[in-house]
Amino acid sequence: MQALRVKNWERYQHYRRRRPPWIKIHVKLLADRRFMALSLSARGLLMQLWVLASELDGHVPYDIEELRFRLRVEDLTDEDLKPLLDGGFLVLCKHVQASDSTCSVSGTIVSPEVQSTETKIPPPTPPAAAGGDGKGPEPTTPPTKRRTRGPSKAEQAAKVGRAHTPAPAEPSHPPPPPRLACVPPPPIDTEGAELWRALMRRAAATWSPQVCQTWIERLYWSRGPDGRMLVTAPNDLIRTWILDHLWVQLQELATEGGICLEWDDGLPPARFAH
């Protein structure tokens, strides 16, 4: 059966079993001029073939009907695969078996098991039944018995001393620590939480879900003693992006909802709340 082999599959994929739940796509692929010269549809087709090749150790059956079914692309043709073959991303193998992990362009399959056993060491020749002069079997020398040295007097004395040594007393366990009094959790600011959810709904109607999930929803808030909504960020990256691109519009949305929104970098972690 003909197949397509992904070039350098063993070099960039390091799992030890077939049908893995994921495959690796290296970042340096963006610096590959041949890959970036492909069309967007060819790049997407190549990545789908990589995922499909994970089921057969880097091989894809070269069957257009099968590929149309597996990739759910009804108008797939050989012309779609030609740029991937010409660019060297796929290699055409003349013969491949589902149980093998290698294929051959010339038509001969050499599996790792055959490669490792090409040079076989012949088994040792059994001894001859008769002696070299043909007079009968050679006499065999009976095995000599090795004398085992018994324990010395010092070892026997040490053994007797250990037998009469009393067992050490078990260590006494320390008394259990006193039980601490239960501290009630701090009260939940339900009013502040409702105001923050209302502000998040306004933000969701203003920005895309990706912007809200990446930046807005990762902010922390807390209510000040005068009712102001204090906001801070978990790291410098989110802080810089919010203040440079979204903060002015976020304050306007808060003002429309009757919320006094202020940025506070000194907000203690204990007062953080989502």
* 247 closest CA partner among 265, 263, 266, 267: 263
Which span out of 108-112, 130-134, 229-233 was modeled with the highest average pLDDT? 229-233
Least confident of 124-138, 182-196, 212-226: 124-138
What is the pLDDT, as a whole number, of residue 114?
32
User: What is the pLDDT averaged over residues 154-174?
Assistant: 64
Write the pLDDT tens digit of every residue in 191-201.
Answer: 888 888 998 99
Write the pLDDT tens digit of every residue in 9-57.
Answer: 777 776 666 677 778 888 888 888 888 989 998 888 988 888 888 888 8
Task: Provide the pairing of β-strand 229-232 with 261-263.
Answer: parallel
Helix-helix angle 247-256:190-206, to 10 degrees: 120
Question: With bands split at pLDDT 50, 70 and 90, how would you rate the model's confidence at 155?
Answer: confident
Residues 6+ apart with CB under 8 A from 39: 83
Question: With bands split at pLDDT 50, 70 and 90, how would you rate the model's confidence at 104?
Answer: very low
Q: Between 139 and 61, whose confidence is greater?
A: 61
- Give how far Cα 7 sits from Cα of 19, 33, 81, 99, Å: 18, 16, 14, 19
pTM of model > 0.85: no
What is the pLDDT, as a whole number, of residue 130?
43
Q: Is pLDDT of 120 > 50?
A: no
Helix (H, G, I), strand (E, B) or coil at 58: coil
- For 131-207, where are the alpha helices, taking DSSP H only? 153-164, 190-206
Q: Which residues pair with 4 in a beta bridge?
A: 60, 92
Q: Between 165 and 49, whose confidence is greater?
A: 49
Question: With bands split at pLDDT 50, 70 and 90, how would you rate the model's confidence at 93?
Answer: confident
Which domains does the chain show, CATH number per domain? 3-112 (no CATH), 190-271 (3.30.300.180)
- Given the structure tokens 């239960």, which residue do they identify? 182
Q: Between 144 and 255, whose confidence is greater?
A: 255
User: What is the pLDDT averaged over residues 64-75?
Assistant: 90
User: What is the pLDDT averaged over residues 60-86?
Assistant: 90
